[in-house]
Structure 1
C-alpha cells in the first residue's frame, strides 16, 4: 500500500534522539524520495500533509542499525573470492537482503588480511550497493594487512606487511582508486565508485603513522587495532587523526596501570593529552616523521607564542579554539567539497589547575570511538560496563560476524577458508581445535539488548551506539543513523524490549517479523 501523495505519517511511536533519549513524536516520510521530512516545513511551505497514517502501537521507530565491522553472514564470506564474479555478486546481494531481519540497514563489509594481489579484485566487486529490498553497502572496511604479528588473531601471518612508504604503501595494497578523495562522503543512491570508508591498522607498524594525515584528509576513518601500541604511541595516533579503536579489549595489550595502552585512551588524561604538556616519556618507536605544527596565538594565554612540538597536539587541534557547531551545519560551513566536513571540531583545553567542583577540563583531542562486540564472550559484561561508563559517547556496537552468522544455525564444525574450519560452540566461534576466537555469531539487535542489560543504560542509549555513533564516526550522520530531515528513511521498528518487528529501507517496508 502506498500513499497517494507519497507522504506517510508514523504516529503513536517513540523516536530515539541523538542524545539517547526516547521522545513520543510523529515521523513524516516521503516514500517516493525515500527521505525523512521536516513536518512543519512540509505542512507550512508545501501545504501538504500525509495521506497515509500508520499507527505504530507505541513501539520504537529507530534509525536503521549500522554495522561497520562484519566479515560475512548466511554462508557468505566477503574475503573469499573463487574466480566467479557472478557468484560473488549473488552472495553480496543475498547478505544485503537477509541482514535486514536483524535491523541492519547499512553496513561496511570487512575484508581481513589478504594476499596482496587479491585486494584489487575483491574491492572492485564490493562497490557501494543497495536495492529496494536490501541494506546498503557503504563501501568497505579494510582490516589489515598493516597489523602486528603477535596480535593478528585469525589473520594469516604470511600476508602481514609494513607500510614502509607510508600512504603510498596503502595505495599499493588497496589500489589508489579505492582511496580517492570524495566530494561528498555521504553515499548517494547512484554512487558506484568503490571506496575505503575505514582502515584498521597498528600505528606502531613502520610507516603507518606516516599515512594517517593523508587518510584523514581524504575522509577515511582510521582505527587502531590488532596492535601492541604503548600509551604514548596510541595517544600520538589519536592526535594525528585516529578516530576509532577496533573491537576494544580484543587483539591488543590488556589494561596495565603503568601503561594502559590502547584501552587507556577511553580515560585519556587531560594532562597527558594537553597541547601545553608534551608527552612525558620516550616513545618506543621512531616517530620523527610526524610534522611539527604551531598552535595559533588565540589558544595561548595572553596571545603569547609557544615553541612548536611534535606531540603537543594535532593539526586538527590547531582549530580547537573554534566553537562546536551543530553536526547538521558542519557540512555547509566547511564547504560541500570537503570530505571531512562532518567531522567534529575540537574545543580548547584548559591547561591550569582549577577549583571548580565536578568540572573536568576539556581535552585537546576527542577520545576515540571504540567498537564493542557485546556478545558476552568477546567481552565480559563487567568489561562492557567499565568501557561504556568511561566513555558512553564513543561506544559503537559491532558484530565482527563471520559467514556462519545465522540465528538458526546449529553447533558444529563449519568450513572457513584456506583449509581451515570454524567450530561453533553455543554463541562462541573458534578456530577448530583451539580456544582462539574467530569472530562472532551475534546479531546487532542482540548487541543493543545486551548493552542495555550489561550496563544498565536505557534502550534509547543502547540504540544510539548502533545508529548515531557509527554514523558520526564515519561522518555520514546527515544521511544515515539519524532521523534528521533529509536523511534516508531507513529505520527499524522495535518493541519496548528491543525485539525487531519490522525493517524499512528508503521509506518502504522490507521485512516483517513472522511474515
Structure 2
C-alpha cells in the first residue's frame, strides 16, 4: 500500500487537503475508510511506503487526444512505425510531461500507408507488455482524410478523399479500426454524415475539423453523432456574425453536454484572447491537446519537419498547455487540470476508472509543483515512471 501525504488531491473538481492511498497489488486508488472498516487485522492496515509530496498537487494523469509525434518520431511515418522502439520511445518520454494516456494521431495518408501503419500499431497495442513502461495508448486518432480541400492545413492534398467517392471506411483505412478511438472529418462533405453514423455504430468518437462547414452543417454533424471539434479555430472557417460556422457551436448551449472542443494552448495556434472566449463560452467543453509533431521534445535548434509551408502541429507539451491555459483564461488550477484529464477522458468515452482519482479508479496520476504546475512525478497504476530529482521524500 502506498500513501501520498502532504498534498492537495484533485477529485471531482476540487483540490482537497487529503492523502491519496494506492493499492500496489491492483494499481487502483483506495478508499481509506472502507479499507479500515473491512480490515480483519491490524496487519492489513500497514502502509508499505509513505510518500511526502511536500505540498504538491496530485491530479489525474494528463490525456492527450491529439499527439502526432514527438522526440523525433512521427506516427504517420511508415518507416518509423516499422520499429516498435519508436513507439516505446514516445510512451517513455511522454510521462516526463505528465501524460499517462494518449492517442497516437495519423494525418491523412494513402490507403497502403494506413494499412501498414495501423497494422503495426495494432500489434503494439495487442501486446500487454508494451503498455506497461510509459504512457498508455488508449486508442488511435485518425485525422483525415475526409476533409474539405480548402482547409487541409499541412495535410497532403493528394491524400484528401471525399466520403462520397470512397469505397467505404475499410477501403479507405485498409483496417478494421478495432483500435481507433477518434476520427476527424469535415461534416459538410457529401456522404460525411453517413460516415459519422457508421463510425458511431462502431463505438468510434467523431470530431469535426479541417472543415468550412456552416453552422447548419456543423449542427447536422452533431446530429449524426459528432461530439468534438478538432483544434478549435484552426483549419476551419472564420467567425462571421451572420453565420459563425463551426465556432457557432460554442453558442449552442443546448448542445454543451454533447460537444467538446480541442484547443492548442501554445500561444501561436490560437491567440490567448480566443482561448479565453472559447473557455468562457463552454468551460466544461475545453479539452487541451498538444497536436504535437516530431519536433516536440527535441533540443533547441533548427529541425526539418515535412515540406508544407503552413502552420502545422505544435512542439508544445501538455505540461505547458496546462500552464498556458490557466494564464490565458484566468481559470482555477482545478479547472486547468481537468481540461487535460477529466474532459478528454469523457469525450474519448474512456472507462469510468480512467481520467479521475475517485476511489476504485486506476492510479494514473501526476504530482505537480503547487505554484508553477511543473511536473514533479508521474505514476501509472501506482508505479512511478518519472520523478524529478528531489521532488518528494519516501519512507
Contact 2:345/2:355 (CA < 8 Å) preserved in 1? yes
Question: What is residue 404 of structure 1 aligned with on the other side?
Answer: 295
* Deviation (angstroms), 1:212: 1.9
Question: What is residue 387 of structure 2 aligned with on the other side?
Answer: 512
The within-5 A match list for 1:57-456 is 57-82=54-79, 85=82, 88-127=83-122, 128=125, 130-164=130-164, 169-178=168-177, 180=178, 195-268=179-252, 363=254, 366-406=257-297, 409-416=299-306, 420=307, 431=308, 434=309, 436-456=310-330
Q: Using the alignment, how far apart are the partners of 1:242 and 1:83 within structure 2?
A: 31
Question: What is residue 425 of structure 1 aligned with on the other side?
Answer: none
Q: Using the alignment, how far apart are the partners of 1:155 and 1:251 within structure 2?
A: 11
Q: Structure 2 vs 1, CA of residues 382 and 84 (structure 1 numbering), >3 Å: closer, same or farther? A: closer
Which is further off, 132-141 or 38-47? Answer: 38-47
* Deviation (angstroms), 1:118: 1.2
* Deviation (angstroms), 1:46: 3.8
TM-score with structure 2 setting the length: 0.92
Question: What is residue 281 of structure 1 aligned with on the other side?
Answer: none
* Deviation (angstroms), 1:15: 1.1
5+ unaligned residues in a row in structure 2: which ranges? 391-395
Which is further off, 242-251 or 54-63? Answer: 54-63
The answer to which structure has the higher helix fraction is 2
With CA pairs under 8 Å and 6+ residues apart, which has the higher RCO, 1 or 2? 2
Q: Using the alignment, how far apart are the partners of 2:80 and 2:197 within structure 1?
A: 36
* Deviation (angstroms), 1:481: 1.0
Partner SS, residue 171 of structure 2 = helix
Contact 1:238/1:365 (CA < 8 Å) preserved in 2? no
Question: What is residue 465 of structure 1 aligned with on the other side?
Answer: 339
Contact 1:59/1:495 (CA < 8 Å) preserved in 2? yes
Q: Using the alignment, how far apart are the partners of 2:374 and 2:80 within structure 1?
A: 39
* Deviation (angstroms), 1:12: 1.6
Contact 2:296/2:316 (CA < 8 Å) preserved in 1? yes
Q: Using the alignment, how far apart are the partners of 2:242 and 2:359 within structure 1?
A: 47
Q: Using the alignment, how far apart are the partners of 1:364 and 1:56 within structure 2?
A: 40
Q: Using the alignment, how far apart are the partners of 2:358 and 2:170 within structure 1?
A: 35
* Deviation (angstroms), 1:480: 1.8
Match of 1:491 among 347, 365, 374: 365
Q: Deviations over 1:346-391 (max 9, x none)?
A: xxxxxxxxxxxxxxxxx26735100000000001110010000000
Contact 1:81/1:122 (CA < 8 Å) preserved in 2? yes
Partner SS, residue 250 of structure 2 = helix
Give the RMSD, CA atoms, in angstroms: 1.8
Q: Using the alignment, how far apart are the partners of 2:332 and 2:81 within structure 1?
A: 46
Partner SS, residue 375 of structure 1 = coil
Contact 1:268/1:367 (CA < 8 Å) preserved in 2? no
Aligned residues: 380
